[in-house]
Chains A and B, each alone.
Chain A
Amino acid sequence: MNARPDPHETVRRLLGPAGPEVTCEQCFEHLDVYVEAERAGRDAEAEVPGMAAHLEGCPACASEHAGLHALLDAG
């Protein structure tokens, strides 16, 4: 590693989200519905409770979430 790790980011990574979260399997299962709800301006978290917390705590699932948005943005 080069630079010193950011202490806030280190704590965030170590402790993860505070609230209840879905599992990786549930995240994948609902990712399409969640992303379409976000893009339609609906309350995606109400449709898939615990999704936002999981995306905060799981970089791999967060990357797929970002990737699906990017792909749909690209048309």
Chain B
Amino acid sequence: MSACFFWSQYNMTKPIIKGDTIKVPSSPEFLPDVDGFLEGTLRGYGVDESAVADIAISVSELVNNAIVHGNKVSPHKMVTVRISRARKTVTVSVSDEGGGFDPTDVPNPLADENLLHEVGRGLFIVRSLMDKVDVQTTGTGTTVVITKAV
């Protein structure tokens, strides 16, 4: 059975977990699935609880963005989250299948005129909590890679 068949395009209604990777359909209802998988994996790595929370918050921001802004909540598009650990760091990548975006084109959430906006803080929070954030975006999708020393 090939890996292509495993990532069946015919079953896009529930999360798919394989090793250190989870793929979810683009719906906010699957946020708890990603969180559960992520936190379980991080605790298995022995990451302390404060770092688990910081990484979980950051990944939830990125998955939310991937679902809503990247994939436009399309049921036919998936969000992929991949987790890995090196000796002193944890790295998580979150990928969507959308049309890309300009990470510099996000209003400053700290500006007085934006303070009471209900949205627009996600990427700012990720950059504040993580040690490294790398955005790779093209017309066929965006991958954000975050790294935290643990």
Asked whether A and B interact, the reply is no
A: residues with CB less than 8 A from B are none
B: residues with CB less than 8 A from A are none
